[in-house]
Amino acid sequence: MTDPIRLLRELDAQHFTSGTMIAERLGISRASVSTALAQAEQFGITLERRSGAGYRLEQDIDWLSLDTLQQYLPPDSILHITLADTLESSNRQLLKNPQHGHVLACEWQTGGRGRLGRRWLGSLGGSLMFSLAWQFNGGPAQLAGLSLAVGAIVAQSLREAGVAQIGLKWPNDLLLQRDASAAQSGNPDNTDYAKVGGILIEMQGDALGPAQVVIGIGLNLSFPHHWQDELDQQAGSLQAAGLRDSRNALLGRLLGALEQGLGQFTQSGFAPMLAQWESLHVWQMQMVNVIAPDGQTQTGQLLGLAADGSLRLLCCDGEKLIHTGDVSLRRLA
Ligand code: BTN
């Protein structure tokens, strides 16, 4: 079965390209071309078909390219980057051999993984989906606050790329505050914030030796509206919120910032980034319900973070610390 992405690479938005020409270029049958391109919509892109002329994209796809990406990386970067068209999950793939500084980015995931066992959807050419392997010689003990540090690094980079409204929900959801007109009453958690990105950190290594960590990041540069029905959370788009970077420029910017920020985290831990994280925290000092996986709910005011990155919640019977990221937060109106 031909990977439809290989075929989509033959198309652009300026010309119609005939199925016969694609078949010849790729050495496949005309029937395989039409079968593969029949699935184009599942990638979140729109394809125009004209009989006698062939296929044309509604919009050019901003493909990832190593040459372009390198222009946006610091010259002394140690990162080793691999690009792929289709993977089941970049995290899953990189976890098989997580070498320090290796990055795996892809155009499409067939089984993208989100936090709390959820799946992660990205659109072709409209998302960034990548994983970075990093080794911590201090072992798992060195990792307290890592997911928060990564959230702060990514959110700060997005602000620098023009997304002024980006913020963080503990532990590391990347949210956009939507304008007041979009935030009509109802459940405030689902109406006035839209998720534009997420971070999934997975680990290998035993309790005593070095820890190999895979940091997976998914960002919606654009997001097909009709996919919203498949999600239990409002999704948003970074381009609609002012993102100026192309996909390659943003990936380069993020990788440069992660390389530098993880170096600093390795030296000094999360504490120096705590104030920055709180300044990006969308629900700082607000009232929330914290819902555990078994449904148990605690209500309180979010005071911010403790030094180890746990969440400080002021309940009616005093301050509590939330350590586990397995909880869901719901803001109260
Ligand atoms: C979340 O649920 O908020 C985390 C989403 C993380 C998605 C990214 S996309 C690249 C990497 N590969 C995966 O399978 N997941 C992460």
Give the CATH number of the domain where residue 35 resides. Answer: 1.10.10.10
Residues 199 and 51 both lie in one domain: no
Which atom from ligand 1 is nearest to the alpha carbon of 118?
Answer: 2
Q: How remote is the CA of residue 325 from the centroid of ligand 1, in Å?
A: 15
Residues 17 and 103 both lie in one domain: no
| Token representation of residue 86 | 């289709």
Q: How remote is the CA of residue 196 from the centroid of ligand 1, in Å?
A: 12
Name the residue of 87, 129, 220 whose CB sits within 8 Å of the most ligand 1 atoms, as the mutation to test its pocket: 129
Residues 95 and 146 both lie in one domain: yes
pLDDT class for 139, splitting at 50, 70, 90? confident
Least confident of 80-94, 179-193, 242-256, 286-300: 179-193
Q: How far is Cα 165 from Cα 233, in angstroms, rounded to an integer?
A: 18
Looking up residue 272, the CATH number of its domain turns out to be: 3.30.930.10
Which atom from ligand 1 is nearest to the alpha carbon of 91?
Answer: 12
pLDDT class for 144, splitting at 50, 70, 90? confident
Mean pLDDT of the chain: 91
Element (H, E) at 37: helix 30-37
Residue 189, pLDDT > 70, answer no
pLDDT class for 241, splitting at 50, 70, 90? very high
Structure confidence at residue 38 (pLDDT): 87
Quick one: what percent of the chain has pLDDT higher than 90? 73
- Structural domain including 305 reads 283-331
Name the residue of 107, 109, 169, 200 whose CB sits within 8 Å of the most ligand 1 atoms, as the mutation to test its pocket: 200
Residues 275 and 312 both lie in one domain: no
* Local structure of residue 257 (DSSP, 8 states): H
Q: Give me the DSSP letters along 151-214.
A: HHHHHHHHHHTT-TTEEEETTTEEEEEPPGGG--SS-HHHHSEEEEEEEEEEEES-SSS-EEEE
Residue 213, pLDDT > 80, answer yes
Structure confidence at residue 183 (pLDDT): 46
Residues 110 and 147 both lie in one domain: yes
Structure confidence at residue 308 (pLDDT): 85
Name the residue of 120, 147, 223, 232 whose CB sits within 8 Å of the most ligand 1 atoms, as the mutation to test its pocket: 120
Residue 59, pLDDT > 70, answer yes
Task: Give the pocket of ligand 1 (CB within 6 Å).
Answer: 89-91, 109, 112-115, 118, 120, 129-131, 173, 198-200, 216-218
Structure confidence at residue 187 (pLDDT): 47
Residue 296, pLDDT > 60, answer yes
Q: What total number of domains does the chain contain?
A: 3
Tell me which of 40, 57, 74 is where a domain ends.
57
Q: How remote is the CA of residue 29 from the centroid of ligand 1, in Å?
A: 35
Q: How remote is the CA of residue 92 from the centroid of ligand 1, in Å?
A: 10
Residues 201 and 313 both lie in one domain: no
| Range with top average pLDDT, 12-21, 31-40, 319-328 | 12-21
Which atom from ligand 1 is nearest to the alpha carbon of 109?
Answer: 14
Give the mean pLDDT of 25-41.
89
Give the mean pLDDT of 31-39.
89
In the block, residue with structure tokens 């999360």? 270
Report the nearest-CA residue for atom 9 of ligand 1. Answer: 218
Residue 34, pLDDT > 80, answer yes
Q: How far is Cα 253 from Cα 134, in angstroms, rounded to an integer?
A: 18
Q: How far is Cα 125 from Cα 43, in angstroms, rounded to an integer?
A: 9
Residues 102 and 171 both lie in one domain: yes
Structure confidence at residue 124 (pLDDT): 93
Q: How remote is the CA of residue 15 from the centroid of ligand 1, in Å?
A: 34
How many residues does this entry show for the chain? Answer: 333
Which is higher by pLDDT, 234 or 250?
250
30-37 vs 19-26: helix crossing angle, rounded to 10 = 110
Residue 19, pLDDT > 90, answer yes
Structure confidence at residue 42 (pLDDT): 85
Residue 185, pLDDT > 70, answer no
Q: How far is Cα 140 from Cα 142, in angstroms, rounded to an integer?
A: 5
End-to-end C-alpha distance for the chain, whole angstroms: 51
Structure confidence at residue 179 (pLDDT): 62
Which atom from ligand 1 is nearest to the alpha carbon of 116?
Answer: 2
Q: How remote is the CA of residue 21 from the centroid of ligand 1, in Å?
A: 36
Residues 94 and 201 both lie in one domain: yes
Residues 209 and 110 both lie in one domain: yes
Residues 80 and 162 both lie in one domain: yes
Structure confidence at residue 117 (pLDDT): 87
Looking up residue 291, the CATH number of its domain turns out to be: 2.30.30.100
Residues 157 and 41 both lie in one domain: no
Report the nearest-CA residue for atom 2 of ligand 1. Answer: 114
Structure confidence at residue 326 (pLDDT): 79
